Structure 1
Amino acid sequence: MIVLLLFAVIFLAFSILLKGFFTFGNLLTLMRTVSVLGILGLGMAVVVIGRGIDLSMIASLAVPSAVVLMLASKDYGIATSLLCGLTLAVAIGVLNGFLIAYAEIPSLFTTLAVGIGVAGIGQSGLFEYEIVPWPAQLAAISWIGQGSLFGVPYSVLAFIVAAIIVGIFMRRTRLGAFIYASGDNPNAARIAGISVRPILVLQYIIASVVGMFAGLVLSASSAGMDTRIFNLTWIYDVILVVVLGGIGLSGGRGGVLNVVIGTLLIGTIVNGMTIMNVSFEMQNLIKGMVLLAALSIDSIVNPRNEETAQQGDI
């Protein structure tokens, strides 16, 4: 509620003080911008609720979706191209989950290494060019990032649909309840009969598949996938959305609504700074300070007790 109130105050202040902020064109741009960030935030939320973190999500966004675009351009067909991209995304999630759950390598280092490796594969010769264009063969599904329905961009509708699906999965299914239980207290979940390790693998598969979906939405809206996107600071924006939205890093808490609120807040702040001609470097500094403050507050609101600490940090 505090974050929602903060968003309302900032949005109102920008609307009054910033010329050009509260216009149809700018709000449309704002919605399109935050949609992909919000979809990524949904995948990251699943992992953080399960007491982990996934730094490979931008690689999962860029490479599998670029594979879909590349194969489609070579006339492999929409279904085959999507299946190959989905298979790669699932493989990334399985690799992350296996190394974390069974090899017991901390998620921070595992996902960082996997993300760098996947991005490196994509940039070292898998694709002919660093920017893979959206092919005409995928025109049948280009609506996921292009056009609008009653003035609402399809990319925003994609975020809404993804939020509904993830929300139902996390709150209404047994597997979602298992992720919450495993994140809240792995030992208690294990004693209760929950297979914690497979659940851990599942949450990274979900994050990777959600990342691929975000990549397809981004590719359709921008008419291509720039595989160099891995070198940008998007992953920090995704973490900022999740943490600032109120999902505790100690695991077992939060949900889709937190992601939506965090996405709106970060999107509004970034959009306002852009209108004020704040430099990219200064924006990163401000977002870094906000993230540090959010992490500090999270450590106070959701402290790690002795039992929690024994389960390992992210």
Structure 2
Amino acid sequence: MRFPKRLGSLSQEQIVFLITICMFLVFSLTLDNFLATSNILSLLRSVAVLGILGLGMLIVVLGRGIDLSMVANMAISVAWTIQLVRVGMPLGWALTTGLGFSLLMSAITGVLIAYAEIPAIFATLAMGTFIYGFGRAHLITGTDVVYLPAEFGWASAIGQGKLAGIPVPILLAIAMAIIAYLFLRYSKLGWNIFNIGDNQSAARISGIPVRPVIVLKYVLSGGAAYVAGLITATAVQSMNTRIVNSNMIYDVILIVVLGGVSLSGGRGSVRNVIVGTLLIGVLVNGMTIMDIQYTIQNVIKSLILLLAIVADSLINPRDEQTGQQGDI
């Protein structure tokens, strides 16, 4: 049985957007510091990071997959970039090396899923653990937190700079959202991702190179993770690798599902990610100002994630192929 995607005349995306507006108004009226400039900037920066990670996750989920290694990839690749600059490598080369590491790890993940046919949830979970362990043991040994050196120079503006009064992280998030929209909407590769997510067997029969496309979508996810990591590190002047053990990856999944992207693949858009990101950003910011304990915040977000997954299973039932493939 397929449930309707609309409640009355409103879609899931529109309902979530209305809830976000109502929540923002309530917090504005009830929390003293919610509308403070410093708080709004903090909210926007956190939304930018989650949104960029969400865009990477969107591309993966649309192709009927999932990437649990994003946060580990983000933390280790950027921490290593900072470490390389600290030991004297030119900034440009360090940035290229860190990005290359992130893309390589994502490509290996894609190969394991596409060619070794390991279910995505297990392959990405294992790769996330490997990336974190390998990075701590061989790339940034002896420390949890890597601090930005003065030699990081112009790249520090990625997280702290402003252009025409608008924080650079927000501009980067907007730019990446536009690029992702154009890629998914107008490129042949983007349509291939949709087709693979909708029906992988039919996509293969129609001549779509399914395995290479699967690898590529994980590489794109790794690129998004690296950009998000640069924003995070330059905003606070450090990269704390212990973020890998946080619930951040579940926040990324939450904004994707909550916004209306189908976990069974083939259905979703950049707009869904934007809506889900805004809701979680406002919710988390409000709970932080109310001094709600971090563990309680995680419980609330976990319940929302569970409800969102249940709603997704009703709106977008998993077909027999999805159940057999075990991608998620």
Q: Same fold (TM over 0.5)?
A: yes
- Displacement, 1:308? 4.0
| Counterpart position of 1:41 | 54
- Please give the secondary structure, in 1, of the residue aligned with 2:160: coil
The whole-number CA distance in structure 1 between the counterparts of 2:123 and 2:183 is 25
Matched, 1:145 2:169: no
- Please give the secondary structure, in 2, of the residue aligned with 1:75: coil
Matched, 1:83 2:96: yes
TM-score, structure 1 normalization: 0.96
- Please give the secondary structure, in 1, of the residue aligned with 2:207: coil
For the aligned residues, what is the CA RMSD?
A: 1.3
Preserved CA contact (<8 Å) 1:96 1:114 = yes
- Displacement, 1:67? 1.5
1:172 to 180, 186, 197: 186
Matched, 1:108 2:92: no
Matched, 1:74 2:63: no
Residues 196-230 of structure 1: CA deviation (Å, up to 9, x unaligned) = 11100111111111101111111111111111110
The answer to which of 164-173 and 128-137 deviates more is 128-137
Preserved CA contact (<8 Å) 1:122 1:227 = no
| Counterpart position of 1:54 | 67
The whole-number CA distance in structure 1 between the counterparts of 2:18 and 2:284 is 17
Aligned-residue identity in percent: 49
Q: Count matched residues.
A: 314
The residue identity in structure 1 corresponding to 2:103 is: V
Residues 82-130 of structure 1: CA deviation (Å, up to 9, x unaligned) = 2211221111111111111111111111100100111011222421422
Residues 121-152 of structure 1: CA deviation (Å, up to 9, x unaligned) = 12224214221111222212221111222332
Preserved CA contact (<8 Å) 2:66 2:327 = no
Q: How does 1:107-126 map to 2 (within 5 A)?
A: 107-126=120-139
The whole-number CA distance in structure 2 between the counterparts of 1:106 and 1:310 is 10
The residue identity in structure 2 corresponding to 1:158 is: L
Residues 131-183 of structure 1: CA deviation (Å, up to 9, x unaligned) = 11112222122211112223321111111111111111111211111111111
The residue identity in structure 2 corresponding to 1:122 is: G
Matched, 1:279 2:297: no
TM-score, structure 2 normalization: 0.92
- Displacement, 1:37? 1.1
**Structure 1: gaps of 5 or more residues:** none
Matched, 1:133 2:147: yes
The residue identity in structure 1 corresponding to 2:159 is: G
2:281 to 259, 267, 274: 267
Preserved CA contact (<8 Å) 1:145 1:221 = yes
Q: 1:23 to 1:104 in 2, by over 3 A?
A: same
The residue identity in structure 1 corresponding to 2:226 is: M
The answer to which of 132-141 and 226-235 deviates more is 132-141
- Displacement, 1:57? 0.2
Runs of 4+ in structure 1 displaced over 6 angstroms? Answer: none
The answer to which of 121-130 and 190-199 deviates more is 121-130
Q: 1:74 to 1:136 in 2, by over 3 A?
A: same
1:160 to 150, 171, 174: 174
Preserved CA contact (<8 Å) 2:119 2:325 = no
The whole-number CA distance in structure 2 between the counterparts of 1:181 and 1:229 is 34
**Structure 2: gaps of 5 or more residues:** 1-13
- Please give the secondary structure, in 2, of the residue aligned with 1:145: helix
The residue identity in structure 1 corresponding to 2:95 is: L
1:12 to 20, 25, 32: 25
Preserved CA contact (<8 Å) 1:186 1:311 = no
Residues 1-25 of structure 1: CA deviation (Å, up to 9, x unaligned) = 1111111111112112222212322
- Please give the secondary structure, in 1, of the residue aligned with 2:33: coil
| Counterpart position of 1:255 | 269
2:323 to 296, 309, 312: 309
